[in-house]
Amino acid sequence: MVHRSFTEVFDDHLRLSEMGDFENDLRRNFSVDIIVLMENNIYRGHEEVRGLARRLLRELPNGKYQNNMILLDKEIGMLEWTAKSDNTEVLDGVDSYLFRDGKIIAQTIHYTVTRTSLPRPANVLDASPADHVTTEHVMDNSSL
């Protein structure tokens, strides 16, 4: 079996993520034995990773994502990202990846979700802020 390079796998992962095609991304780019470390927890396998993806979609519904930095070297990589939805945002997203035998075998995920909308004062009719964020892609909730 011919294995794809880490760059090929990572590029495919980003492309499928941007399209909202989570299932094909998971099947093609992640080992069935994937291990994800996040918030003092260990998640194993495709089903638990699906749960993390559903959680992100709940936290950032129709989120717009910006990849700010990608660093890849042989078997290891890092992605810095930000995201914004109508009422929440992430300014400190960092994922790291370990790659072997044509698949991502381990990942760490860190991000902090903060609310962007403030409660509307009773005497103000329209207090919604203008959205001036430039983004790369929107995650589609329909794929999960």
Distance from chain centroid for Cα 122: 36
Q: Is residue 71 classed exposed, middle or buried when 0-12, 13-18 and 19+ CB atoms within 10 A define those classes?
A: exposed
* pLDDT above 70: percentage of residues in the chain: 81
Task: Report if residue 14 sits inside a domain.
Answer: yes
Task: Report if residue 124 sits inside a domain.
Answer: no
Task: Report if residue 64 sits inside a domain.
Answer: yes
CA-based radius of gyration for the chain: 17
Task: Report if residue 137 sits inside a domain.
Answer: no
Asked if residues 49 and 43 have their Cβ atoms less than 8 Å apart, the reply is: yes
Q: Note the pLDDT of residue 144.
A: 55
Q: Which of 132, 137, 5 has the alpha carbon at shortest distance from 77?
A: 5
Task: Report if residue 72 sits inside a domain.
Answer: yes
Q: How many domains does the chain have?
A: 1
The residue type found at 116 is T
Handedness of CA 97, 8, 45, 109 (dihedral sign): positive
Secondary-structure percent of the chain, ordered helix, strand, coil, rounded to 5 = 30, 40, 30
Task: Report if residue 139 sits inside a domain.
Answer: no
CATH number of residue 52's parent domain: 3.10.450.50
Q: Which of 72, 67, 95 has the alpha carbon at shortest distance from 82?
A: 67
Distance CA 22, CA 54 (A): 10
Task: Report if residue 58 sits inside a domain.
Answer: yes
Helix (H) or strand (E) holding 74: none
Confidence tier at 7 by pLDDT (50, 70, 90): very high
Quick: pLDDT tens for 106-127: 999 999 999 997 655 555 454 4
* Residues spanned by the domain of 17: 6-116
The pTM assigned to this predicted structure is: 0.79
Task: Report if residue 52 sits inside a domain.
Answer: yes
Distance CA 57, CA 87 (A): 13
Tokens of 42: 């260990």
Quick: pLDDT tens for 25-62: 999 999 999 999 999 999 999 999 999 999 999 999 99
Range 70-96 average pLDDT: 97
Q: Note the pLDDT of residue 117.
A: 73
